[in-house]
Amino acid sequence: MTRQTDFKVAILYAGDADARQTASPENSRFLPLFQALTGLGMQAEPAVYHDDFSDAVRDQLMSMDAVLVWVNPIEGGRDRSRLDAMLREVAGSGVYVSTHPDVILKLGTKEVLYQTRDMGWGASDTQLHLTADQLRQVVASQIATGCARVLKQYRGNGGNGVWKVEPAEYPLPGPDPVGTTIDALDLPVRVRHAKRGSLDEIMRLGAFLQRCEQYFEGEGRIINQAYQARLPEGMVRCYLVHDKVAGFGHQAVNALCPAPADAHAGYVPATTPRLYYPPDLPRFQALKRQLESAWVPQLQRQFEIRSASLPIIWDCDFLLGEKSDNGDDTYVLCEINVSCVSPFPDSAIDVIAHATLDRVAAARQRRKR
């Protein structure tokens, strides 16, 4: 039964001035969530954000009890630095913000793959490179011994700054190095960017690593993981509301998959739809139990995050690892998404709405003290 309240919730997403002027639940991709929030008696409204009118958005959010945020780390060529500063101010006034920028910095960067590499859900050989020199030394050694690696920039989305690099056969463009000893940086490699529409490229390792130097600008860094051979079997996305799984997604991943042997020079893999499932899907129950009972609690302890401070909606992406001795699937964490998780399974909508109501009520109580 609907319980009317005066709780006010804003759903914040990126857009221009025209989008802000015409914003309504009906023309938003979040209409089902708006309906679920209002169905619980809350007043929900859109908050279209752009750096150019951040002050107006700030004023709007200051009148809210909660704001749910969907903005990518890189949006329209801009980062979230100005938005995050504003959200910290809003949260400091007592408004519930999800996901809080401080939680994003703990969970939503690729560095979490390195920080949790020994937790049981990651690859223990995951490495962190803080400088281009470190990257060159380590990757040159790995390529020289025949390893395929995946390099990921610190913050990004949509496959931007994620590369597969592996040894390749000759011929290479340009003249061969002079002399009988080939430096590791002169080795031929096959590389592919995970960004949609990217093609395989053959180049010298040194040239590729020079391309990666841009990812060290500012506080940049690179995470280095082993390529998972079962990548063509797909990726499992576990959607969580706070500390509980609220649904699954399963998608064939082709961004970094090997091209077919008969692929033409301009081959681009076809995109595949992500299929959504409720949290009781039998196939992924073992993964759900492991995530809820072990991995998420470990993550919370390591980063000192209470359940109520975990994102209102987030996801953990897993690739299939090597089969266990008894033939069961194992899983390797690919990334955690907390900034802009959309779309998500229908099964998560009501769970998000009820969790928001709980957080709004708690925030209102804190503001009354």
Given a contact cutoff of 8 angstroms between Cβ atoms, the answer to whether 44 and 25 are in contact is yes
Is pLDDT at 121 greater than 70 in this prediction?
Answer: yes
How would DSSP label each residue in 67-132? EEEE--SSBTTB-SHHHHHHHHHHHHTT-EEET-HHHHHHHSSTHHHHHTTTSSSS-TT-EEESSH
pLDDT at 265: 52
Residue ranges with strand state E in 227-366:
235-241, 244-251, 275-277, 314-320, 331-337
User: Which of 124, 195, 139 minimizes the C-alpha distance to 162?
Assistant: 195
pLDDT at 319: 92
Cis-peptide into 101, omega within 30 deg: no
Going by pLDDT thresholds of 50, 70 and 90, the confidence category of residue 124 is: confident
pLDDT at 262: 61
pLDDT at 269: 60
pLDDT at 268: 59
pTM of the predicted structure, to 2 decimals: 0.88
Given a contact cutoff of 8 angstroms between Cβ atoms, the answer to whether 202 and 188 are in contact is yes
pLDDT at 171: 55
Is pLDDT at 86 greater than 50 in this prediction?
Answer: yes
Is pLDDT at 257 greater than 70 in this prediction?
Answer: no
Cβ atoms within 10 Å, residue 198: 18
Going by pLDDT thresholds of 50, 70 and 90, the confidence category of residue 179 is: very low
For residues 69-81, give the mean pLDDT: 88
- Location of structure tokens 């809003």: 90
User: Which of 5, 7, 1, 120 minimizes the C-alpha distance to 367?
Assistant: 7
Q: Please give the residue that has the higher pLDDT: either 292 or 174.
A: 292
| Mean of the per-residue pLDDT values of the chain | 89
Q: Please give the residue that has the higher pLDDT: either 249 or 324.
A: 249
pLDDT at 258: 64
From CA 228, how far away is CA 320, in angstroms rounded? 7
Strand pairing class (96-98; 66-70) = parallel
Going by pLDDT thresholds of 50, 70 and 90, the confidence category of residue 264 is: low
Going by pLDDT thresholds of 50, 70 and 90, the confidence category of residue 200 is: confident
For 318, phi then psi, to 5°, come to -120, 135
Is pLDDT at 244 greater than 50 in this prediction?
Answer: yes
Q: pLDDT exceeding 70 applies to what percent of the chain?
A: 90
pLDDT at 129: 97
pLDDT at 298: 97
pLDDT at 369: 67
Going by pLDDT thresholds of 50, 70 and 90, the confidence category of residue 180 is: very low
First vs last Cα of the chain: how many Å apart?
Answer: 29
- pLDDT digit string, tens, across residues 316-351: 999 998 888 888 889 999 999 999 999 999 999 999
Going by pLDDT thresholds of 50, 70 and 90, the confidence category of residue 261 is: low
pLDDT at 173: 54
Q: Please give the residue that has the higher pLDDT: either 2 or 296.
A: 296
| Helix spans in 153-262 (H) | 205-211
Strand pairing class (8-14; 43-49) = parallel
